[in-house]
Structure 1
Amino acid sequence: MPEPGVVVLILSYNGKHLLDDSVSTYLNNDYSNFSICVVDNGSTDGTEEFVSKKFPSVFTLRLEKNLGYSGGLNEGLKYAFGEKKADYALITNNDVKVDSKVISSLVSVAEMKTEIGFVTGKVFYYDNPDVLQTVGKKEHPVLWNGGHIGNREKDCGQYEEICERYFADDIYTLVKKSLYEKVGGYDTLFQFQCEEFDWQVRAKEAGFKIFYTPNAKIWHKDSMTIGKVSAFKAYYDAKNPMLVILKHKPAEYFKKFFWWQFWKGTVRSSLVYLKSFKPGISFKIWQGFFSALMWGIKNKRITLKHIF
């Protein structure tokens, strides 16, 4: 029986300099029935030319304009499950290096049960290759989407069990075709932050499960030190977690979340940046907070049964 078909989707916007590691290590995988698609999200750095010259076996899906994270990957999912008729799509960041058994390890778990819709594995820090960034995500009693399991822990074999996870980051995630056919792809309301969270919530509501395997390993070029917080990121950090709650949770839960988000996520955070002489970031936090509230009020068709 042939192996299930997999399309690896690497979204890239002006990330030509990152593709060498990610594409070459995926090409070295021991799985036989897979192809790679670089989704060029309106890049202006010559990504398409670079890929076609250096990796002639890799297909580049060229988008004429940047559709954002969700929009770009949705085009990739259409290609994978539509044109390529793949059984699975493996969504992955472009700033990674992967183990040679990552695809086979993910697929073997996905094939265990029909209700397994997402599979992820270990993510290590690229610059600290034995230190974990995440092995899945846990539930938070107020924020719902909790922190990373295993973050900054040295891998000493403490996460060696194949198991179900509450949520998972989509630094890399294997997606089953039946899930995509039933719940669709990303909601483009979430262009940055919480896009995978919302997708996983919808998938779980449809009966699918998220699984983790310790046998899949990648190394992510994400620094362990806290980098700059941009006004762009601050805006979506304040806005999108509330949008997910507005879409999916009942009024009582929203009230609890609202006051936490108001005092800790907005008031306290904005004061920190004001004291650091960064009023622009402080303003964006408040703008994101009120933007989410206004969306909830304007979209009562979606939120009425929960909140308004």
Structure 2
Amino acid sequence: MQEADRSHRPFVYVLVLSYNGRKWLAECVDTLLAMDYPDFRVLVIDNGSTDGTRDYLAERYGDRIDVLWLHENYGYSGGFNHGLVYAFAAKRADYVMVINNDTAIDKKALSALVEVAVTDPMIGFVSGKVYYYDDPKRLQTCGKSEDPIRWNGEHIGWKEIDTGAYDEVAERVFLDDIYCLVSRRVYETVGGYSTTFFLQSEEYDWQARAKAKGFRLVYTPHARLWHKESMTIGKDSPLKAFYDARNPMIVLMLHRSPDYFRRYFRQHARMVVRRSLVYAKRLRLYSALRVLHGLCSGLYWGFAHRKLTARHFIGPAA
């Protein structure tokens, strides 16, 4: 990083959340520190790790980064919220970039994200291309488009080789928060992540609340990142299975019409039961129970918070 005149250039805090992720942090943080944007600071939020992360970061980076030590695991949403308070309230950042720790970012990515964000104060979220780390020319996502079946849209470019088909700056229905630039204005208007979502689906709720206030979600092809995918919690962990079953229902209860939710629930419940049977056939009985528990937990949440549901709608409400 170079010194910069903040009267002309937004100051960005890059927030890296980590829970027992010491073995992935070096590549993530090293590539962040190599970015060419001249006015940013990296903050690693340690979510109560027990793998020696604290000593490792102090030895490897010293005062080149900030580290926020949390005494327990607050989850994805809660952990990042501590970082948002630090960046926006304590350090007066203009933007934050949230980023997963199992990633490697291109040196020009932050510059590309900021370049788009500053064109309109109502651009609340900006993200770019995400590639699979082990298949570096294959796309994981270029944002999401509206989809009549998938409640949270369809990943644009998913598993395609990047041939330049998605090389235009464009608005998106949703953006994955594997990495995402977020404006101070969004935070001051709608707050941060909801801790209802310990992990999984949290970005859709946040972005839905922002969209309801008129904020835009924009994709730029000029930002690139490579993702190792679900390394911290595991691609198929019982914890992930629980929240994958639970949280989509809560997002829909909050942000879609009751009719839409009822139609979606029938599809979702069938999927959850099928997934539970697959786990059972593999003798993964705990995962089989957890995914069913997630379905029941989501329904219970909706009943307990029924006065909050369907407060506003996004996308097709019918």
Answer whether TM exceeds 0.5 for this pair. Answer: yes
2:315 corresponds in structure 1 to none
Deviations 1:207-259 (A, max 9, x none): 10110001001111138xxx862222211111111111111212111111111
Structure 1: where are the runs of 5+ without partners? none
In terms of mean alpha carbon deviation, does 280-289 or 236-245 score higher?
A: 280-289
CA-CA distance at 1:280 after TM superposition? 2.5
1:240 corresponds in structure 2 to 247
The secondary structure found in structure 1 opposite 2:174 is coil
- Within the alignment, does 1:270 sit opposite 2:256 as a pair? no
The secondary structure found in structure 1 opposite 2:125 is strand
CA-CA distance at 1:300 after TM superposition? 2.1
CA-CA distance at 1:155 after TM superposition? 0.8
1:250 corresponds in structure 2 to 257
In 2, the alpha carbon distance for the partners of 1:23 and 1:210 equals 26
1:104 corresponds in structure 2 to 111
CA-CA distance at 1:40 after TM superposition? 0.9
In 2, the alpha carbon distance for the partners of 1:110 and 1:159 equals 19
Cα RMSD over matched residues? 1.6
Q: Is the 8 A contact 1:92 1:173 kept in 2?
A: yes
In terms of mean alpha carbon deviation, does 276-285 or 158-167 score higher?
A: 276-285
In 2, the alpha carbon distance for the partners of 1:279 and 1:10 equals 33
2:65 corresponds in structure 1 to 58
TM superposition outliers: structure 1 runs of 4+ over 6 Å: none
1:6 corresponds in structure 2 to 12
The letter for the 1-side match of 2:182 is V
CA-CA distance at 1:149 after TM superposition? 1.1
1:121 corresponds in structure 2 to 128
Deviations 1:118-159 (A, max 9, x none): 000011111111111111122332442023211111111111
In 2, the alpha carbon distance for the partners of 1:217 and 1:177 equals 23
CA-CA distance at 1:55 after TM superposition? 1.2
1:70 corresponds in structure 2 to 77
- Within the alignment, does 1:43 sit opposite 2:49 as a pair? yes
- Within the alignment, does 1:133 sit opposite 2:140 as a pair? yes
Aligned residues: 302
CA-CA distance at 1:304 after TM superposition? 7.2
CA-CA distance at 1:305 after TM superposition? 6.3
The secondary structure found in structure 2 opposite 1:175 is strand
Q: Is the 8 A contact 2:138 2:162 kept in 1?
A: yes
CA-CA distance at 1:285 after TM superposition? 1.9
In terms of mean alpha carbon deviation, does 148-157 or 270-279 score higher?
A: 270-279
- Within the alignment, does 1:17 sit opposite 2:55 as a pair? no
In 2, the alpha carbon distance for the partners of 1:289 and 1:6 equals 38
Identity, % of aligned positions: 49
Q: Is the 8 A contact 1:142 1:256 kept in 2?
A: no
CA-CA distance at 1:88 after TM superposition? 0.3
- Within the alignment, does 1:95 sit opposite 2:102 as a pair? yes
In 2, the alpha carbon distance for the partners of 1:141 and 1:253 equals 10
CA-CA distance at 1:90 after TM superposition? 0.5
The secondary structure found in structure 2 opposite 1:112 is coil
In 1, the alpha carbon distance for the partners of 2:191 and 2:71 equals 23
Distance 1:296 1:117, change over 3 A: same
In 2, the alpha carbon distance for the partners of 1:35 and 1:192 equals 25
